[in-house]
Chains A and B, each alone.
Chain A
C-alpha cells in the first residue's frame, strides 16, 4: 500500500551495529505495528503503538526498541544487531475507528541481512 512507506527497503549490516528502520504513513491511522517474517513462518509481532504516547511489546520484542515520534511515524531500532535478526520486516497501520474489526495496511517491507 503506497500510503505506508518503509525505509530503507534493503539493508546489510554487521553484527553489533545499531540500525534503525523507519515507517511513515499518510493514512491518518492511530495504530502502527512492526512485524518480522522469516522464511516458512508467518508474521510475528514485535511492537505496536495505539497512539503517540503508547508503546506495547509484541510476541518477540527482545533485542528491539521502537519510537513513535508522531502519529505518522514509527521507527524500529536494533540496538546491537545479531545474525538471527536477519529477516523481512513489515510495518503496518490500522484504524481503530473503522467500525468493524481492524484492517491492517502493510508497507512494502525492509529486507535486513545481518552478517
Chain B
C-alpha cells in the first residue's frame, strides 16, 4: 500500500486560497489519489479524486504532477466552515483487499 505524508496542521484566514500537499513516493501505476474531509464527530466525506494532471469540481481542485509522487489539494477562498481534517489517500481498485488507508490527516484551521 502506498504510504502518504502530509502536514499535521495548517492555518489560514477567511478568503485565502489553501494548498495542502501530500507526498506519496511509492504510488503504484493503478493507484488513484483521493481526498476526504472530516468535521468533528462526523464521518469523512469524499472531496475529490484524480489520477493525473488536474481535476476540478465545485469544492476543490487537485493538482497532480507528471511523476505522481505528490499531489496538492487546493481550496479556493476558504471560509470558517472549511475548518476540518483533510485526508490524502492513495489506492486502487483491487478485489483482493481493501486498498484505502487513512493516515492522521491535516488539520486545517481557518480564522476570521
Q: How many residues of A contact B (CB 8 A)?
A: 30
B residues with a Cβ closer than 8 A to A are 31-32, 34, 36, 41-46, 49, 51, 87, 91-93, 95, 97-105
Contact with A108, one of B31, B42, B97, B100 (Cβ below 8 angstroms): B42
Contact of B102 among A43, A56, A107 (CB under 8 A): A43
**CB–CB A101/B46 < 8 A:** no
Count of A-B contacts judged by CB separation below 8 Å: 64
**Nearest chain B CB to A96's CB is how many angstroms away?**
7
| Known A42-B87, A58-B98; contact A101-B93, beta-carbon cutoff 8 A | yes
- Cβ–Cβ contact B46 & A104, under 8 A: yes
User: Across the interface, which residues of A come within 8 angstroms of B44, CB to CB?
Assistant: 43, 90, 104, 106
